[in-house]
């Protein structure tokens, strides 16, 4: 019989605890973001019932609809979800993303930063948590900030008062040893922390590599299919 959502979730939590222990870390400092993309709001509702409330999405249209449906399905007093946007975001979707998302993991280019600053300036009470997404490849055309521009870009992010820089984010390559990428992410994190000591968080680790990511200091795991099942 196929494992239930609850079983898969429990198994992931056990693996996080073990990997944290192996890395001499406390699992309390590791946040699980369940990537709910490709699944309906019902799955997110079920996850809320199981005690998870940090959800990740990578397409604005899908995320906006789901966030609204879930908000309507909540019972009074029920734990409210926090939405994390983890995918590449078109600048014309910034306004929509800001309506439901609290954390953007994929701040990957200057044009997106400028658009965020522009929209946030219209709502002075609004703040957004962000991670700078790194380009871990040698191809400058891939998304993400390259190591040589990381410090300059970090300064630009820090100059926008309504953005709270949490740290760096990376997606380890499939065709290379993830450890190489996780080490790069860790180095980049240290570079960013010299500019902002509070930007100490690392968004890294997915279904296939989260245990390794924990060994390299990941604080925000973005785990989809290992919990939600394939779609
Ligand atoms: C889909 C996605 C994930 C989750 O991937 P899984 O392999 O299903 O765990 C994590 N991060 C990003 C940016 C994604 O798009």
Q: What is the predicted pLDDT for the residue at 1?
A: 58
Residue located nearest, by CA, to atom 6 of ligand 1: 224
CATH 3.90.320.10 for the 5-40+101-228 domain, yes or no: no
Query: What would the mean pLDDT of 93-118 be, rounded to a whole number?
Result: 98
Q: Does residue 148 register a pLDDT over 90?
A: yes
Percent above pLDDT 70 for the chain: 99
Q: Residues near ligand 1 with C-beta < 6 Å?
A: 35, 37, 58, 86-87, 171, 206-208, 222-226
Residue located nearest, by CA, to atom 10 of ligand 1: 222
Q: Does residue 138 register a pLDDT over 90?
A: no
Query: What would the mean pLDDT of 30-58 be, rounded to a whole number?
Result: 97
Q: What is the predicted pLDDT for the residue at 131?
A: 99
Is pTM, for the whole model, over 0.75?
yes
Closest atom of ligand 1 to 222 CA is 10
| Mutate-to-test residue for ligand 1 from 11, 31, 35, 173, highest number of ligand atoms within 8 A of CB | 35
Find the 85 Cα to ligand 1 centroid distance in Å: 11
Find the 133 Cα to ligand 1 centroid distance in Å: 14
Q: Does residue 3 register a pLDDT over 90?
A: no
How do 54-57 and 220-223 pair as beta strands? unpaired
Closest atom of ligand 1 to 228 CA is 8
Query: What would the mean pLDDT of 108-112 be, rounded to a whole number?
Result: 98
Find the 224 Cα to ligand 1 centroid distance in Å: 6
Q: What is the predicted pLDDT for the residue at 34?
A: 98
Query: What would the mean pLDDT of 163-185 be, rounded to a whole number?
Result: 94
- Please report, for the chain, the start and end positions of each structural domain, with discontinuous segments joined by +: 5-40+101-228
Q: What is the predicted pLDDT for the residue at 204?
A: 98
Instruction: Kindly report, residue by residue over 24-43, the tens digit of the pLDDT.
Output: 999 999 999 999 999 999 99
Query: What would the mean pLDDT of 126-153 be, rounded to a whole number?
Result: 94
Instruction: Kindly report, residue by residue over 197-224, the tens digit of the pLDDT.
Output: 999 999 999 999 999 999 999 999 999 9
Confidence band of 2 (pLDDT split at 50, 70, 90): confident
Query: What would the mean pLDDT of 4-14 be, rounded to a whole number?
Result: 97
| Mutate-to-test residue for ligand 1 from 37, 86, 181, 220, highest number of ligand atoms within 8 A of CB | 86
Query: What would the mean pLDDT of 77-93 be, rounded to a whole number?
Result: 96
Residue located nearest, by CA, to atom 11 of ligand 1: 222
Angle, vertex CA 100, rays to CA 156 and CA 229, nearest 5 = 105
Query: What would the mean pLDDT of 92-112 be, rounded to a whole number?
Result: 98
Kindly report the average pLDDT of the chain as a whole number. 96
């Amino acid at each position: 019989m196929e494992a239930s959502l609850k079983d898969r979730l429990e198994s992931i939590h056990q693996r996080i605890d073990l990997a944290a222990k192996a890395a001499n870390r406390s699992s309390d400092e590791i946040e699980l973001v369940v990537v709910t993309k490709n699944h309906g709001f019902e799955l997110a509702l079920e996850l809320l019932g199981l005690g998870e409330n940090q959800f990740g999405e990578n397409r604005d249209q899908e995320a906006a609809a789901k966030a609204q449906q879930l908000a309507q399905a909540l019972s009074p007093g029920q734990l409210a979800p926090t939405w994390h946007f983890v995918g590449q975001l078109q600048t014309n979707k910034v306004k929509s993303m800001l309506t439901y998302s609290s954390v953007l993991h994929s701040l990957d280019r200057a044009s997106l930063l400028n658009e965020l600053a522009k929209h946030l300036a219209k709502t002075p009470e609004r703040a957004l948590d962000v991670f700078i997404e790194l380009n871990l490849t040698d191809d400058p055309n891939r998304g993400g900030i390259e190591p040589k521009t990381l410090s300059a870009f970090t300064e630009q992010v820090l100059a926008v008062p309504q953005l709270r820089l949490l740290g760096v984010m990376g997606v380890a390559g499939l065709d290379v040893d993830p450890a190489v990428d996780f080490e790069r992410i860790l180095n980049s994190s240290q570079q960013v922390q010299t500019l902002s000591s509070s930007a100490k968080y690392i968004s890294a680790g997915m279904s296939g590599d989260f245990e390794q990511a924990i060994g390299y200091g990941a604080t925000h795991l973005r785990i989809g299919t290992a919990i939600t099942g394939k779609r």
